[in-house]
Amino acid sequence: IVTKLPKVGTTIFTVMSALASEKGAVNLGQGFPDFHCDPALVDAVTRAMQDGLNQYPPMAGVLPLREAIADKVERLYGHRYDPVSEITVTAGATQGILTSVLCAVHPGDEVIVIEPVYDCYVPAIELAGGIPVFVQMEVGAAGYSIPWDKVRAAVTPKTRMIMVNTPHNPTGSVMRAADVAALADIVRGTDILILSDEVYEHMVFDGQPHESLARHPELAERSFINSSFGKTYHVTGWKVGYVAAPAALTAEFRKVHQFNVFTVNTPVQYGLAEYMKNPAPYLDLPAFYQKKRDLFRAGLANTRFELLPSQGTYFQCVKYDAISDQSEADFCKWLTSEIGVAAIPVSAFYNTPKESGIVRFCFAKKDETLQLALDRLAKL
Ligand code: PMP
Ligand code: GLN
């Protein structure tokens, strides 16, 4: 068979989790919590199952969940999406992203992606027959930033979409108001669409706001905004998320969605709708993860790692050039096998080979897991 995705192998997350488990390492690689979700959420889903809510839901998702999402987005970002025509429940953000790209990108269209880039973006573009156009973030003492002049220079008459991600995996950087203004400036007067990956929307630290594109009418009107309950409610294995987009874009999205997955499992949707009535879990999330970030950073301050800022997400990037001159992938393998802590090489988020001497740790872990990792890393 002639492969459609010649550059794709097993994802780095799978590779590093397998190595971590083989070596008995503390797994700070793949991003997922090692603690339980709120039992009230499990109860809500269990109740839905016991109540017999186990058959196909509507194609776009059950209405109570779409209403709960619309209410949340309006409360936080001041923009009301119509739950009937503008919100679709997805099988996680991965499916939301693939479907957004498949419905909007035509063969030969260019899509601007900003590296380091989350692993599912480029295969989605390639499956649609689109052409990824890469712009690399810049990294300095203040951390990673998007060079908007380079994004502007990458725009051509063939540009169909720009993909952004805030808070950003893997760098932990966050788009600020000035970034959003720069993006708006670039697309104004064009018909360029935006895919905004906001799966870490409830993990922005230091009292700063999440600059959802939903806050910005000019951008919201051309954006597919993707989010994921997996991140927000500590249930990455449930694979449920949503896409909010204006009605005309949502109509195109659903044409693909209905033949891609058709719909998403019913009891989890009802359970989430019930659980979302209480805003506390997502409102408390920034403080919850900021404490973990601070604990982890305080421990790493005693090592020779150089800490980059972590403004959002549950990731902490570090430079390791004072410790080793190995490639990022080799360093991660060594760290996992010899020190007993798994990390992810940031080079895995680049399409053209790029070594920055930077690796990513995930701090979505119990405090004792973080402490165990820090005890092992203290040797460095
Ligand atoms: N986008 C980013 C930036 C992510 O980090 C992830 C999860 N690792 C996803 C999308 C996919 O989310 P989901 O698990 O809901 O498919
Ligand atoms: N998004 C997670 C991460 O960045 C991994 C999800 C996956 O394994 N595909 O670590």
How far apart (Å, rounded) are the C-alpha atoms in residues 157 and 132?
14
Q: Is 13 in the pocket of ligand 2 (CB under 6 A)?
A: yes
Is a pLDDT exceeding 90 seen at residue 160? yes
Predicted confidence (pLDDT) per residue in 22-74, tens digit:
999 999 999 999 999 999 999 999 999 999 999 999 999 999 999 999 999 99
How far apart (Å, rounded) are the C-alpha atoms in residues 228 and 249?
19
pTM here?
0.98
Confidence of residue 379 (pLDDT cuts 50, 70, 90): confident
- Do 78 and 215 touch, CB atoms closer than 8 A? yes
- Do 162 and 194 touch, CB atoms closer than 8 A? yes
Domains of the chain (ranges, CATH numbers): 12-30+284-377 (3.90.1150.10), 40-278 (3.40.640.10)
Residues comprising the chain, all counted? 380
Mean pLDDT of the 354-358 span: 97
The CA 88 to ligand 1 mean position distance, Å, reads 17
Q: Looking at ligand 2, which residue's alpha carbon is closest to its atom 4?
A: 31
The predicted pLDDT at position 141 comes to 82
The CA 80 to ligand 2 mean position distance, Å, reads 30
The CA 92 to ligand 1 mean position distance, Å, reads 7
Q: Looking at ligand 1, which residue's alpha carbon is closest to its atom 3?
A: 169
